[in-house]
Amino acid sequence: MGRLEGKVAIVTGGARGMGAATCRLFVAEGAKVAIADVLDEAGAALAAELGDVAGFWHLDVTSEADWAAVVRDVEARFGPVDVLVNNAGILHFAGLLDTTLADYRRVLDVNLVGEFLGIKAAAPGMVARGKGAIVNVSSVDGMKGANGLSAYASSKWGVRGLTRVAAMELGHKGVRVNSVHPGGVDTVMTNHDGSPRDKVDERFGNIPLQRVGAPEEVAAATVFLASDEASYLAGAEIVVDGGMIVGAYYQGMPGAPGMD
């Protein structure tokens, strides 16, 4: 405990799922946390649960005005922002030829433009103090193709490029920028119908760890990147996907489960 002692963090999409898990772990590690989300009720409830070291701010990540207000208000309450976690994201399932321009732009606006605006809002204060950490949440689908996810995969590949440019431009100014790439995680985004955990695990039976991930497992990687333990990481990509990107088992072949 205490790996983030004295740090002030903004976590977007912080009201539920991976964002909420990140907020809880950040507080447990000593940080003061701004929960930023459009889900007002859930965000306020989480802030009440975490106590005086947390607060909720309504934030539409696609709004430059919202970003400016949140950074200003968080600094007034908690002090200078040391960590930004760009976690907010949305998912849209549709074949490429069935994806409308409006849906494509909506996903890019939240998942990619939202992170760009977050960096623009939070980084100047970090640069002025010569220190800070930004963690951009991308996806394993930002490292590979996935049918039905043209908008989502495009946005998450874009986050990789944005992260690398930000790491290059801000690193020599004391601001570390890195990314986390979750695979399937047991949140509303992946488990939208609320299936039992064992049923969700079955969907991931052909990846090395043969299960869906827990939000806390992604949060742990984010804590590491936000902490001083990651002081020599810039532009790094931490994949938290149970081995999904490694590949899928060919059932019945040597080395597959049951064939050892």
The model's pLDDT over 153-177, given as tens digits with 9 standing for 90+, comes to 999 999 999 999 999 999 999 999 9
User: Could you tell me the two tokens for 158?
Assistant: 């874009």
* Window from 73-87, 138-152, 179-193 with minimum mean pLDDT: 179-193
The label of the residue with tokens 């009440």 reads: 48
pLDDT at 234 over 90: yes
pLDDT at 242 over 90: yes
**CB contact at 8 A, 134 and 159:** no
User: Is 249 among the catalytic positions?
Assistant: no
Does residue 226 fall inside a structural domain?
Answer: yes
Does residue 197 fall inside a structural domain?
Answer: no
**Total domains in the fold of the chain:** 1
Does residue 206 fall inside a structural domain?
Answer: no
Does residue 207 fall inside a structural domain?
Answer: no
Domain that holds residue 68: 8-184+215-246
What pLDDT, on a 0 to 100 scale, did the predictor assign at position 216? 97
Does residue 203 fall inside a structural domain?
Answer: no
User: Could you tell me the two tokens for 89?
Assistant: 């994201």
**CB contact at 8 A, 180 and 238:** yes
What pLDDT, on a 0 to 100 scale, did the predictor assign at position 259? 64
**CB contact at 8 A, 231 and 176:** yes
pLDDT digits (tens, 9 = 90+) for 183-202: 999 888 877 778 888 888 88
Annotated catalytic residue, options 104, 152, 232, 250: 152
Q: Label residue 235 by pLDDT band (50, 70, 90).
A: very high
Walk across the sheet containing 237-240 and list its strands: 54-58, 32-37, 8-12, 83-86, 132-137, 175-182, 237-240
CATH value at residue 236? 3.40.50.720
Helix %, strand %, coil % of the chain (to 5): 45, 15, 35
What pLDDT, on a 0 to 100 scale, did the predictor assign at position 176? 98
* Window from 55-69, 71-85, 110-124, 200-214 with minimum mean pLDDT: 200-214
11 membership: H or E segment, kind and range:
strand 8-12
Does residue 210 fall inside a structural domain?
Answer: no
pLDDT at 110 over 80: yes
Does residue 35 fall inside a structural domain?
Answer: yes
pLDDT at 1 over 90: no
* Mean pLDDT value across residues 207-235: 96
CA-to-CA distance for 97 and 105, rounded, in angstroms? 15
Q: How many CA atoms lie within 13 A of 57 on its CB side?
A: 25
What pLDDT, on a 0 to 100 scale, did the predictor assign at position 190? 78
What is the share, in percent, of the chain residues with pLDDT greater than 90? 83
What pLDDT, on a 0 to 100 scale, did the predictor assign at position 43? 98
CA-to-CA distance for 22 and 225, rounded, in angstroms? 12
Does residue 209 fall inside a structural domain?
Answer: no
